[in-house]
Amino acid sequence: MNAASIAAPDPDVVAADVARALAEDLGGGDVTAALLPDRPDTAYLLCKEDAVICGRPWFDACHRALDPDVRIDWRVAEGDRVASGTVAATLAGRARALVSAERASLNFLQTLSGTATVTAAHVDAVRGTNTQILDTRKTIPGLRLAQKYAVRTGGGVNHRIGLFDAVMLKENHVRAFGSVAAAIRAARTAQPGLPLIVEVETLDQLREALSEGCDRILIDDFDAATRREAVRIAHDAPFDGRIPLEVSGGVDLAGLRAIAADGVDCISIGGLTKHVRAIDLSLKLGPPPAA
């Protein structure tokens, strides 16, 4: 993945995220940084493990909020895979501002790089198949759009953003309306302009959803044999693969390739954004070490 192929995050989202983070960290003022002489200084950003870099817009915005004249020279692009020990960027600005922005800027960069890195690992696992890796709504409160951007940076695809941009029918809807078909018809009537995703629990429900029509069908927690039969049904006449099949539930990295090889179109994985492990990054004052 490279910067040219990644849709930039909404600047208003970045600004709002950064404003919250700095207000949380600085409060009435950085009493520790205030001990430093407020003179020009330099710093460098060190990546201390292999990673996919993600979050540059948030990192930059943190520093520019405290020092509009700071110079940030990136040595890696957004979405680049970098090795441990890489100096990712150098900075030149006011010493106090560099120190005050350090934690918030790193929090964004290490968290989003973590999401991008784990997403890239899952995308790598299905490379060469026709399967896409999707995220879910299992995100850090207040950082959903940032994390979903990180998923895209890692090569994944966004599922619905929230409860407003797609209709997703589950067992409660089937129970309420009496059948998958009735639930689909009710959803189409209520929200004709929105994508419709239908979760099914049996092959009979799958046939019902395929016959009634929708935008994607989620086969949740099917065992391997039932999953392969679901793919066969969806791709044979009269359905001919027109409606994509999504797998969710009980998915781990080790078993990902086998699921993709069965021919499903999408695999959604909550752990991309829920099981966050931040990348080890540090910002140090002074010039970077000699290569």
Coil, helix or strand for 16? helix
Is pTM beyond 0.85? Reply is yes
CATH superfamily of 129-274: Aldolase class I (3.20.20.70)
Q: Would you call 185 a catalytic residue per the annotation?
A: no
Q: Would you call 199 a catalytic residue per the annotation?
A: yes
Delimit the domains of the chain by residue range: 3-123+276-285, 129-274
Q: Would you call 188 a catalytic residue per the annotation?
A: no
What confidence score (pLDDT) does residue 250 get? 79
CATH superfamily of 3-123+276-285: Quinolinate phosphoribosyl transferase, N-terminal domain (3.90.1170.20)
Catalytic residue among 171, 220, 229, 280: 220
Per residue of the chain (291 residues), what is the pLDDT tens digit? 555 467 889 999 999 999 999 999 999 999 999 898 899 999 999 999 999 999 999 999 999 999 999 999 999 999 999 999 999 999 999 999 999 999 999 999 999 999 999 999 999 999 999 999 999 999 999 999 999 999 999 999 999 999 999 999 999 999 999 999 999 999 999 999 999 999 999 999 999 999 999 999 999 889 999 999 999 999 999 999 999 999 997 788 999 999 999 999 999 999 999 998 999 999 999 999 886
Q: Would you call 220 a catalytic residue per the annotation?
A: yes
Distance CA 188, CA 197 (A): 11
Q: Would you call 274 a catalytic residue per the annotation?
A: no
Catalytic residue among 64, 75, 81, 103: 103
Instruction: Evaluate the CA torsion angle 16, 21, 26, 28 in order and state its sign.
Output: positive
